Amino acid sequence: MGDIEATWAILHPGVDQILNRLLDGMSYTNWINMYTTVYNYCAMGSTSGGAEHSGSTSTAMVMGAQLYKNLRSHLNAHLNDLVLTAQRDNLTGVSLLQFYTQNWNSYTTATTYLNHIFHYLNRHWVKREIDEGRKEVYDIYTMSLVAWRNNLFAKVHRPVLKASLKLIEQQRDHNHIDTALIKLVTESFVSLGIDESMSSRSTMDVYNQYFDQPFLEATRDYYYVESRRFLATHSVPEYLKHIESRLAEESARVQVYLHPRTAGPLIKTCEATLIGAHVGVLQPEFQTLLDGERLDDLYRMYKILSRVPGGLNSLRTTFEEHVKRQGLAAVEKIAQESSDAAASAGAVDAALLAIHRQFSEMVQTCMEGEPGFVAALDKACRDFVNRNDVCKSGSSKSPELLAAFCDQMLRKSSKTEAGEIEETLNHVMTVFKYVEDKDVFQKFYSKALAKRLVNGLSASDDAEASMIAKLKEACGFEYTNKLQKMFQDMGLSKDLNDAFREQVRQHQEDQMTGIGGNSDLVDLNILVLGTASWPFTPPVTGFSYPDDLVKTYERFSRFFTNKHSGRKLNWLTHLSKGDLKTNCYKQKYTFLVSMYQMAVLLQYNNGTAFSWEELMQSTEISPDVLKAQIGNLLKARVLTVTSASLLRGLGEPGSTYTLNLDFKSKKIRVNLNMVIRNEMRQEADETHKHVEEDRKHLIQAAIVRIMKTRRQMKYQDLMSEVLTQLSTRFRPKVPDIKKCIDILLEKEYIERREGEKDVFAYVA
């Protein structure tokens, strides 16, 4: 059995039968006979002592080289016959693909069987040859693939590729094709990637060179033509949908019949051809989509242009300018409708909130919260929040209006529900983060909060505490320290009033047997507030307490002095108010009055008419303040003035003011303590002045702090560091920083380095 001719004579018919797909006629006995024949030939050396090796002189006990060569030659001949058949039948297109794939399936199935039959050859002779570095020797199945690649594939791969690409193009034109043909072609290309250095390892070389690269080039050419043709007859939004559809098709194509490694290069090729080549056409349409608020198309454009490098840069700039224009237009409309910007604070901030909410939702839904668009939104909001028609005088107007809006929301007069207040405050904080001059907001908010607390106008303590917590989170403890102390003072004042009332009650019980007791004490609620925490200034006028209030005033002063020795009470009469009950009209009214109005009206317990001089003398109120208070009483028709006095003017010597005994009102409780608009403007101006003074101190403190740490710095570096440190509170002006540097030079906190005018040193 050792003779190769005899051995091959036995194997040859079976090999032909397997290659020609005539397996049904092969019996189990034939299978066993072929396997045994291979075994006997390879193992004959173990009994005869012979040796066989492909080019080696070393002794070996396993034969196989000649058998391996015979099988390889037979496979080569078989494959050459297939090539001749294809050429004879002039196969092209689908017919060629069918021929190629059918024979590929048959051949790989057949060689799988042959690999089992020649298993003993693989285990011994082939393994030994491979271990000794024989590059031209492979296991039987791999050898069959090499034979296919060198004989059939080498001669038909170009027409097969051409037919495959043509079929894919037909599918892209939305024609039905047999995708199984292409799948088998690509699988064969992948299988033929045999690593010459290690036969057990496959590579993608054949697939990449003979299919993938030509396929990507064909894809580029196809979409180059199609994209230009489509854009010439369709709108940009339609083209965006078309891109979406095409990209989805290509992704599905990979899943159906391409190798997964093609997915990345294929999509990048499509993106470059369908998107990158037309960025200049697509980007300008973004403004049109913004104007029309076409959210679906905006999202589609974002998703598509985000696929190419730099595709979103122009969109972010366009978006930023659009948001800025919308914000400015909204404020401009309000400014035109209301000449009084302060009165329209709610409308301005509501408009700013609406604009931010609208475009913030757009960024989240249409741009998926992409950081570049978030930054563009922030920049646009910062611009229109701080510089708009209402804030023409500077960015400090915006925080003033925002504080006024918060005051409206947190007052009892607000009809907003608690849940809505919390939601609105969250939106307020959104606008607040864009406010540049946060110190201005702090001043105005502090004043408004103080008035709400003192006058009992807060809608909810929880809402007030929530707002302070939000400000603390945004700006730190120092920013809200005084605000929190205000609440503490309110609680301490409540305890103090309770203690005072208890003392009065006990004293009244002790005096029950006396006549009158303490009935001359009036009911009062006094707030004792720390000077450092509350934004109140001392009264600008003198004042003489009416006789009806003197005993109560003196009694509380003694009580406080005894309880807190060493502390001094400064009475803020200009902020005090009270209720006066009338007995001079048919209808009993309760007048809500300021302390100064109370002092004026209580004079009329002793008469019905008083001259200007008499009222000034009895109340000791300054002329300007008294004029304003009497003006309110005249406007409410509680007092009247003679026509002769009117000719001389309000507050002129000789004017006489008479109690109007015919006063009538539909309300039982009549508020006479109306805020004078001129006083509001004056208070706002004073607040801004205080802000400027505080800023000077903050700038000087920052300079000293920086210089103490750095010891010496150049002028430009110092300027930059100051701007950076204070930017969270306000935007310092360069001239103001220069002035503060000069002040610190004079005070000798810092000094110029000798010979270096632009270098400063800290003076320890």
The per-residue DSSP string of 509-571 comes to: HHTTTSSSTTTTSPP-------TTTS-----SS-----HHHHHHHHHHHHHHHHHSTT-----
Tally DSSP H helices, then E strands, for the chain.
33, 9
pLDDT of residue 394: 55
User: In terms of CATH architecture, what is 493-509+521-574?
Assistant: Irregular (4.10)
pLDDT of residue 23: 64
pLDDT of residue 297: 95
What is the Cα–Cα distance from 35 to 11, expressed in whole angstroms?
9
Assign residue 539 a region (left: φ > 0; alpha: ψ between -120 and 50; beta: otherwise).
beta
What is the Cα–Cα distance from 689 to 685, expressed in whole angstroms?
6
Domain range list for the chain: 4-156, 214-305, 313-446+456-475, 493-509+521-574, 576-674, 680-762
Burial 569-595 (b: 16+ CB within 10 A, else e): eebbbbbbbbebeeeeeeeebebebbb
Fold matches, 4-156 and 214-305: yes
Please say whether the beta carbons of 330 and 348 come within 8 A: no
Long-range contacts of 159-164 (CB under 8 A, 24+ apart): 159/92, 159/96, 160/96, 160/97, 160/100, 160/185, 161/210, 161/211, 161/214, 163/92, 163/93, 163/94, 163/96, 163/97, 164/97, 164/211, 164/215
Mean pLDDT for back-to-back runs of 10 residues, the chain (764 residues): 80 90 75 90 59 46 83 94 93 94 94 92 90 86 93 94 96 94 95 74 87 96 96 95 96 94 95 95 95 94 94 94 91 72 63 87 94 94 80 67 84 72 83 83 87 85 88 86 87 85 76 51 80 84 84 83 81 86 87 88 88 88 88 88 58 79 88 68 71 79 83 80 78 81 80 76 76
CB-based contacts of 294: which residues, under 8 Å, 6+ apart? Answer: 237
pLDDT of residue 432: 85
**Domain 680-762 is in which class?**
mainly alpha
Helix (H, G, I), strand (E, B) or coil at 580: strand
CATH 3.10.310.30 assigned to 4-156: no
What is the Cα–Cα distance from 192 to 196, expressed in whole angstroms?
11
pLDDT of residue 106: 93
pLDDT of residue 340: 53
Q: Which amino acid is at 613?
A: E
pLDDT of residue 46: 44
Fold assignment, 214-305:
5 helical Cullin repeat like (1.20.1310)
CATH classification number, 576-674, choose in 2.70.98.10, 3.30.230.130, 3.40.630.30, 3.30.70.100: 3.30.230.130
Q: Provide the token pair at 66.
A: 């000649």
The per-residue DSSP string of 336-385 comes to: HH-S-TTTTHHHHHHHHHHHHHHHHHHHHHHSTT-HHHHHHHHHHHHHHH
Helical (H) or strand (E) element with 45: helix 45-48
Q: Provide the token pair at 618.
A: 């009895």
pLDDT of residue 745: 78
* Half-sphere exposure (Cβ direction) of 469: Cα atoms closer than 13 Å: 9
